[in-house]
Amino acid sequence: MKALAWHGTGDVRVDNVPDPRIEQPTDAIVRITSTAICGSDLHLYDVLGPFLEEGDILGHEPMGIVEEVGSEAAAHVQVGDRVVIPFNISCGRCFMCDRQRFAQCETTQVREYDTGAALFGYTKLYGQVPGGQAEYLRVPMAHFGPIRVPEGPPDERFLYLSDVLPTSWQAVEYADIPDGGSVTVFGLGPIGQMSSRIAKHRGARVLAVDLVPERLEVARRHGIEVLDLRDHDDVPAEIRERTDGRGTDSVIDAVGLEAHGNPIAAMAQRLVGLLPDAAARKVMQTAGIDRLAALTQSIETVCRGGTISIIGVYGGTADPLNMLQLFDKGVKIAMGQAHVKRWVDDLMPLLSGDGDPLGVEDLCTHRLPLADAPRGYELFKNKEDGAIKVVLQP
C-alpha cells in the first residue's frame, strides 16, 4: 500500500510499504477514505524529529471502511462498517478508561517515556504506532476505539470526530465558561476555529485572535468577534477594553509551541532539530523550548478568578511562566490531550441531523490525493493559499 512516511526534518514522502495485517484479536483493518493533516503533525515535520525513525507512517485523523476484524473486536465493529478512528488508542476497560480519561489509558501508556495513551502516527513518545495517512490502517483496541457513523453524509461531516471536534469540545469544557460568559480564543487554526464555534453555539461571547487574514475571515463568517494581532500592540489591553476592564471569563490557548513572537525560542527549536537524535531527545526532555507568546497573553487576558484552557500542544519541560501573575489573579488552568470518546455522545447529535450547526463542512480548505501529501504539509505549514485544514483522500 501507499503511505506517507517521515524521512527527516521537513521531508515526508509517499512510500510503498507492506499492507497492515491483524496482529492481535482486538485489531481491525480499515481502508482509509479520508485522513487529515493536523497542526500536531507539523511538530513532527519540524521539531520532534529526534523521536521519529525514517519510514515512520504519520497521521492520526482518519476514517474509512472496516475491511477485516479480529475475533475480539467483532462485537464492536463488523466488516463494511463506516468508522472514524480516535487519535488516542484506549482499551475502554482499565482504571483510567473507567473514569473516561481515555488519553491516559493504562493499557497503552508508553511507560518507556512516562507518557499517556499511545497515539496513531506520533513518535516513540506515544508508541510509534503506524498512522492513518495511508491507504490502510491497523487499528489496535478495535473492540472499543472505532466510532461507527452513518452512511450518506460526506466524510467531512464525521471525519473531525477523530481529533478536531472532541479536542475543541474539551477545550470549551475545560474553559469552564459561565452561562452567558465570555471567552478569548488565541489561534484560529482548525482547533481554534472549532473551539470558537462550539463556544458560540453554547451561548458564550467569543473573541478570537490571529494574524492570518483568511483565518480571521473564516471565523468572522461564523459570527465570531475577531482581533487581528497585527492591528494591536497590546492584545490583552484591547480585550480588557472590550470587557469592562476585566478581561474575558475564560481563555482558550489553541496555539501551543508554534506561537509567533519569540525568535530566540524559535531558533532554539531549530537548533535542537539539528542535534544528533540522542542529544536532541535529552534536551527536549529537560529544557524549556516552547514559544510562550500565546500562553503569556492568555495569562494577561483572563479575568481574575477565571480559567485558562490549554489545548495547543507544548513540549518543553522547563518553560518559564509568570507564577506570580497566575497566583495573584487566582487563575485556574486545565489542559491535556482530548479524551476523544468521552465527548462523542455530545457531538454526534450535532453531526447527524439535517443542519450543520458547527459548520464542520466549512473547515476544510484543501482536498488532495494522498500522493500530494508532501505538498499538503507545505501548504499547511506556510499557511499558503488560505490553508486552514488539509484533507487527504487515498
Rounded to an integer, what distance in angstroms lies between the CA atom of residue 194 and that of residue 359?
Answer: 8
Instruction: Decide if 191 contacts 166 (C-beta within 8 A).
Output: no
pLDDT digits (tens, 9 = 90+) for 327-369: 899 999 999 999 999 999 999 999 998 899 999 999 999 999 9
| Strand ranges inside 222-298, DSSP E | 225-228, 248-253
Read off the DSSP letter of residue 153: S
Angle between helices 235-242 and 293-301 (to 10 degrees): 30
Least confident of 18-27, 262-271, 309-318: 262-271
Instruction: Give per-residue pLDDT as tens, 163-178.
Output: 999 999 999 999 999 9
The three three-digit cell numbers of residue 379, written as one number:
501548504
CA nearest neighbour of 344 among 129, 207, 135, 170: 170
Q: What is the pTM of this model?
A: 0.92
How many alpha carbons fall within 13 Å on the CB side of residue 125? 15
Confidence of residue 89 (pLDDT cuts 50, 70, 90): very high
Give the Cα-Cα-Cα angle 165, 122, 286 (nearest 5 degrees). Answer: 110
From its phi and psi, is residue 107 left (phi > 0), alpha (psi between -120 and 50) or beta? alpha
List, edge to edge, every strand of the sheet that includes 182-186: 225-228, 205-210, 182-186, 248-253, 302-310, 332-335
CATH C-level class of 2-162+339-393 = alpha beta
At 246-263, the pLDDT tens digits run 999 999 999 987 644 444
Per-residue confidence (pLDDT) for residue 315, from 0 to 100: 72
Angle between helices 344-352 and 164-175 (to 10 degrees): 120
Burial class (CB in 10 A: 0-12, 13-18, 19+), 152: exposed
Sign of CA dihedral 223, 228, 231, 237: positive
Q: What is the pLDDT at residue 273?
A: 52
The upper half-sphere exposure of residue 300, i.e. CA atoms within 13 Å in the direction of its Cβ, equals 14
How far is residue 286 from each of residues 120, 276, 281, 312, 317, measured CA to CA in Å?
Answer: 25, 16, 9, 20, 6
Could you tell me if 85 and 71 are in contact, meaning their C-beta atoms sit under 8 angstroms apart? no
pLDDT averaged over every residue in the chain = 91
The DSSP H or E segment spanning 147 is: strand 147-148
Of all helices (H) and strands (E), which one includes residue 36?
A: strand 28-37
Q: Is 165-335 CATH 1.20.1250.20?
A: no
Domain ranges of the chain: 2-162+339-393, 165-335
